[in-house]
Structure 1
Amino acid sequence: MERFDFIIVGGGASGLLLADALGCDPYFREKRIALIEKGSKTSNDRTWCFWEDGPGPFDDILFRQWDYLRFKGPDFEKKLPLGDFSYKMLRGDAFYKAYYARIASYPNIELIKDAVLEIQESGDGAEVVTQTNRFRANLVFSSVLFQPLEPLMKPYPVLKQHFLGWHLKTKSPVFDAQAATFMDFSISQSGNTRFMYILPFSESEAIVEYTLFSEDLLETSEYEKALRDYIKNDLDCEEYEIVDTERGSIPMTSNHFTAADSEHIIHIGIAGGWAKASTGYTFWNSSQKAQKLVKALKNGSKLQMASKNKFWYYDMLLLNVLARNNNRGSEVFSALFKSLEPEIILRFLHEQTSLSEDFRIINSSPKKMFIGAFWHALVNNLF
């Protein structure tokens, strides 16, 4: 049985980011590392968006970036300059091409194309069983969860960020190419938190996504109807071509996924709870946590990236609000964007704000909702 020091299961964003962080660090130069992915990832199977203050490590492979965000609440609309921030979009095909090339340049990393069937804790390491082989490693990092997610989703609320998006080309100019629409809450909420999200490439081309923060998924026809109605009524567009479709569902929860980990198996990416609980944004979080994980490996410290810091509590309270009043998410986000500059909101969502800035965020939020959520959390599951 072939043995490695580290095995990474899954060649998506988190797996590639971790493999690159290990491969470029001289500390791990003598370690044997395997990246196992069932097939070649070359298609544009997803897009990732994130915001950044100034230049960043992905700038060479970005597809688009915007210096403005548009926010539309029930009773107001703002086009917001981002100051030093940019809102950046990365396509899957460009990311895979660049990062698989980087991985191939590291002599101590072996890419194995095979389907992983299971991962087992085994003595002084872990065993990875694939369709054609078995491998052993001191540590396995898996972006795939080979057990049901539901038992891990306790004791805190669990919602989903789920969406269906269409890449559109329109006959006439209907988009503002300068600004990505972060949230448009002008649509019917129908008992949930629902908004439209737009990434414009030109005045006649964009990705338009119908997004919900809710407990249950919809039938495909419901997403499609909402998109058609929005394009016709809100964008005033009758003629368009659907170039491509993307859909997804991301768990939104303050529960830690570490119950799935063991001494020699650590989960990463969404399987490791790396998605930001209150928003579902995952790519930027994964890029940061991959670096922290490498640092922990070097220092011999705790490898699980979950922690109950102040931002964990903020996320937990927001998810309690949305779990108890799922139709009131528009009130929460509208209150913030109505009274605060976007830079402080974006820094807050990246967990980079000071206590005084946190107070400004809290002071701008609908207080009655959060007081109720605080007491509910206190009584039911916090202590």
Structure 2
Amino acid sequence: MAKLDYDYIIIGAGASGLLLADALGKDSFFSQKSILLLDKDAKKNNDRTWCFWEKGKGEFDTILYKVWNQILFKGQEFSKSYTIEPYAYKMVRGIDFYEHYLERLKGYPNIRFEQDAVTEVKDSEECVSVHTQENEYRCQKVFDSRFNYEMIEAEGSYPVLQQHFVGWIVKTPKPVFEVDQTTYMDFSVPQKGNTRFMYVLPFKEDEALVEYTLFSKELLPKTDYEEAIHDYLQNKLHCDTYEILEREQGSIPMTCYDFGQRNSERIIHIGTAGGWAKPSTGYTFMGSSKKIPLLISNLKSDNNMHDLGQKKRFWFYDLLLLDVLYNNNEKGHQIFTSLFKKRKPQLIFKFLDEETSFREELQFISGCPNLPFIKAIFKRLF
């Protein structure tokens, strides 16, 4: 067999790609493996924000941009602030993450980062060939983080929603934001037959990320998101003038589709493309950080990597919520309002982290409106 250019190629220098590259680099088991990290972008821009809740100190604390110990939930007729200890709500800016991990990769002599756009990946019995705009590489295994909705469009067994959003970091001429409290969900905005809410991360009294988010099937015209943010700033926060410092937008799949079935012996999908996003929330950052050690362990033991996770009861809980939101998208605000009205956020976070006991799960579920979920259960069972 001809000599390979690399042992491993990682496609995409986002959260999952950089975390995987760093995990491989610092593990002596892989010190003799040659690794190439490819991304079409130089990762020099602050193109996204990652947020997550966590107890105590964590591995990302050195690059945190902001931490909140309080959250605000707003429904149509219900509003409440919560202290979330022992949890903290943490934020990492994309640019800080990229700079930190790309600098770390410079310390691993067996890892190389190249800015080059991948155009095609071909699998064969002997190797994988990765074609880019500039080069062609051959390797033993590929870890591919590229996601597109065509992967799941033909899948009819599971509903597919999108968590889609546009966010502005705004600077206001006067104090507007409560800097110690993040607005986790504000459903007081018009729902228009969907699940729609505002999400506010305040950095200073006059600076915050204001994001308009939907859980729904279809995207909106970009002007719709922007008009909603403007209306929120003007009518809810009473801020007529502001400066937009940065913009971000995205779409995250919300589905219980088994992404692992797309893996082969030599091509493993990671991140969102690997199904590492929590189906019911779209949160991917901490999901990726928890999947990386499992992937590393499987690599070391040469285990089958068709599936890095089993269908557990939490998968079924996620499926029921997506069934309800897919068939009755307008009920989203009722479900979340009922939960936050009846249950503490600590239980909600623990449940979403999949760390609850069965007794706690029954307590969580009983906080939701019963009828839509009973119908969803019977539809799935029968």
TM-score normalised by structure 2 residue count: 0.96
Q: Which residue of 1 aligns with 2:27?
A: 25
Q: Which residue of 2 aligns with 1:141?
A: 143
3-state secondary structure, aligned to 1:279: coil
Deviations 1:339-382 (A, max 9, x none): 11111111111111111111111111111110011112223xxx
Deviations 1:90-123 (A, max 9, x none): 0111100000011111122122332211111111
Partners of 2:310 and 2:224 in 1: CA distance: 37
Q: Which residue of 2 aligns with 1:88?
A: 90
Runs of 4+ in structure 1 deviating by more than 3 angstroms, as ranges, are 150-154
CA 1:328–1:151: 2 relative to 1, 3 Å: closer
CA 1:309–1:246: 2 relative to 1, 3 Å: same
Query: Which ranges in structure 1 are unaligned for 5 or more consecutive residues?
Result: none
CA RMSD, aligned part only?
Answer: 1.5
Deviations 1:249-278 (A, max 9, x none): 111000112343222101111111111100
Name the % identity.
Answer: 49
Q: Which residue of 1 aligns with 2:357?
A: 354
Query: Which ranges in structure 2 are unaligned for 5 or more consecutive residues?
Result: none
Q: Residue type matched to 1:94 in 2?
A: D
Aligned mate of 1:255, from 254, 257, 279: 257
Q: Which range is displaced more, 53-62 or 166-175? A: 166-175
Q: Is the 8 A contact 1:154 1:255 kept in 2?
A: no
Are 1:288 and 2:290 matched, yes or no? yes
Q: Which residue of 2 aligns with 1:265?
A: 267
Deviations 1:146-199 (A, max 9, x none): 893244533100000001111111112111111111100111111000000000
Aligned ranges 1:296-315 → 2 under 5 Å: 296-303=298-305, 304-315=307-318
Q: Which range is displaced more, 289-298 or 276-285? A: 289-298
Q: Residue type matched to 1:334 in 2?
A: T
Deviations 1:303-342 (A, max 9, x none): 2324211110000000000011100111111111111111
Q: Which residue of 2 aligns with 1:220?
A: 222
CA 1:152–1:16: 2 relative to 1, 3 Å: farther
TM-score normalised by structure 1 residue count: 0.95
Aligned ranges 1:25-64 → 2 under 5 Å: 25-64=27-66
Partners of 2:76 and 2:291 in 1: CA distance: 36
Q: Is the 8 A contact 1:336 1:364 kept in 2?
A: yes
Q: How far off is 1:200 after superposition?
A: 0.3
Partners of 1:146 and 1:252 in 2: CA distance: 13
Q: Which range is displaced more, 173-182 or 122-131? A: 122-131
Q: Is the 8 A contact 2:152 2:257 kept in 1?
A: no
Q: Which range is displaced more, 292-301 or 62-71? A: 292-301
Q: Is the 8 A contact 2:147 2:272 kept in 1?
A: no
Partners of 2:304 and 2:346 in 1: CA distance: 32
Q: Is the 8 A contact 2:4 2:140 kept in 1?
A: no
Are 1:327 and 2:330 matched, yes or no? yes
Q: Which residue of 1 aligns with 2:9?
A: 7
Q: How far off is 1:2 after superposition?
A: 4.2
Partners of 1:197 and 1:147 in 2: CA distance: 25
3-state secondary structure, aligned to 1:247: strand
